[in-house]
Amino acid sequence: MTHAIVLIEAERDALATLGGALAEIEGVGAAYSVTGDWDFVALVHLQRHERLAEVVTHGIASLPGVVRTQTMVAFEAFSQHDLEALFDVGA
């Protein structure tokens, strides 16, 4: 399975509707509006790595109002349970 985080800069006029459009793209597990240099973050989960280019370029980046994207592919995924066990000091 491939996991990727896509940072999205949007046009001001698209801020109200882009989140819902992002969430509807097949492969996008969640979309968040965020503060900072980027306007949205999309979490992408795909069975086949080959689909990543299609989802990002033909799905996310082609939506009206998307100015630019930056994609980060995850090397390894950790669940909350894994992270809690990693930092558990036996308290």
pLDDT (tens digit, 9 = 90+) per residue, 58-81?
999 999 999 999 999 999 877 666
Q: Which two structure tokens, joined as six digits, stand for 46?
A: 């795909």
Compute the average pLDDT of residues 32-42: 96
Token duo for residue 20? 């819902």
- What pLDDT, on a 0 to 100 scale, did the predictor assign at position 85? 60
Rounded CA-CA distance 88/85 in Å is 5
* Rounded CA separation 29/36 (Å): 22
What distance in Å separates the CA atoms of residue 53 and residue 73, rounded to the nearest whole number?
11
Question: Above pLDDT 90, what percent of the chain?
Answer: 80
Q: What is the mean pLDDT of the chain?
A: 90
Domains of the chain: 2-87 (3.30.70.920)
pLDDT tens readout for residues 1-15? 899 999 999 999 999
Report how far residue 77's alpha carbon sits from residue 72's, in angstroms, rounded to the nearest whole number.
13
β-pairing, 66-73 vs 28-33, is unpaired
